[in-house]
Amino acid sequence: MTDAINTGRLTSFMERLERLDEDKTAIAADMKEVFSEAKGEGYDTKIMRKVLKLRKIDKAKRAEEQSLTELYLDAVEG
């Protein structure tokens, strides 16, 4: 079984993934710090997270989703 596996290449992939995981952990800690700072200044971090997510979406797609959301809310709230 190990004859079919290029152990050097596999090790290389694993080492890269481990470094990226460390980077991800560091970035998450940095983001937590920024959110904490923003919260300390009175900003609503839940909304900030929502805005971050929304800004990743194309404006036209976001507008379409918002109008559909409003349409559905109007339909169920009457």
**Which amino acid belongs to residue 68?**
L
- Reported as type and span, the H/E element at residue 43 is none
The whole-number pLDDT of residue 78 equals: 82
Q: What is the pLDDT of residues 6-36, one digit of tens each?
A: 999 999 999 999 999 999 999 999 999 999 9
Q: 54 and 62 in contact (C-beta within 8 Å)?
A: yes
The pLDDT-based confidence of 4 (bands split at 50, 70, 90) is confident
Which tokens go with 14? 């694993």
Per-residue pLDDT of 24-70, as tens digits, reads 999 999 999 999 999 999 999 999 999 999 999 999 999 999 999 99
Compute the distance between CA of residue 36 and CA of residue 43 in angstroms, rounded to an integer.
9
pLDDT of 1 reads 57
